[in-house]
A and B are shown apart, each in its own frame.
Chain A
Amino acid sequence: KAGVTQTPRYLIKTRGQQVTLSCSPISGHRSVSWYQQTPGQGLQFLFEYFSETQRNKGNFPGRFSGRQFSNSRSEMNVSTLELGDSALYLCASSLSVPVEGYTFGSGTRLTVV
């Protein structure tokens, strides 16, 4: 089966700009989560969506937002980019109860200059 697809793979943005990242989960997976990975802070949870509803949210400022569509595809948006937003953004999908764990996409590497 196809894996989790994230686009784009790489992105370079300027401070103050905004960015939208996309994630297509594994077919049949209705839960989609987003994580930020940096060398300093490790893997940090951003938010989780299930059936178009945000079920959980991490401790990130309101500049970070997301949404999920009826086909389970998800997008996350970061507005007013800061240098510290440079990171690998990972999307993960799972069944509603993740007994088989989460399947991660390859990520979007965002660089803010």
Chain B
Amino acid sequence: GQQVMQIPQYQHVQEGEDFTTYCNSSTTLSNIQWYKQRPGGHPVFLIQLVKSGEVKKQKRLTFQFGEAKKNSSLHITATQTTDVGTYFCAIGNEKLTFGTGTRLTIIP
């Protein structure tokens, strides 16, 4: 089945710095979803990208889907302590395949 690689595995940033996580696939994707899981919590859906080159914004979060629909990124501008957690990309529809996640920790 399809697989997706996610990097980096960990990211430690000072509060106020930016953060980016990347997902890459060797095959063309029909869509990609992003989830956030707070420590001790469960994954929460953030967004789904479907179109080639799509860019969507949610306040300080910017999501991009590559032109070839093989990669995606999540960028957070000016991180805050509330951004702490693990960010996952996921591919598929009825059966999600999750990336390994990027754990974001923030130094106040």
Interface residues of A (CB under 8 A from B): 31, 33, 35, 42-45, 48, 50, 55-56, 58, 90, 92, 97-107
Contacts and interface: CB of A to CB of B under 8 A. Distances in A.
A-B CB proximity, top 5 nearest: A101-B45, A43-B98, A56-B95, A104-B42, A104-B43
B88 A104 contact: no
17 contacts: A33-B94, A33-B95, A42-B100, A43-B88, A48-B95, A50-B94, A92-B43, A97-B93, A98-B93, A100-B45, A100-B48, A101-B48, A102-B45, A104-B43, A104-B44, A104-B45, A106-B42
A92 B44 CA distance: 10
A2 to B, nearest CB: 15
B42 A107 contact: yes
B85 interface: no
Contacts, number: 55
Contact of B94 (A31, A101, A104, A107): A31
Interface of B: 33, 35, 41-48, 88, 90, 93-98, 100-101
Given A42-B100, A43-B88, A48 B94 contact: yes
Given A103-B45, A104-B43, A105-B42, A58 B95 contact: yes
A98 B94 CA distance: 8
A43 B100 CA distance: 8
Contact of A90 (B43, B93, B100, B101): B43
A1 B104 CA distance: 30
Nearest to B50: A99
A105 B33 CA distance: 17
Contacts of A31: 94
A5 to B, nearest CB: 12
Contact of A45 (B35, B43, B48, B97): B97
Contact of A55 (B44, B88, B94, B96): B94
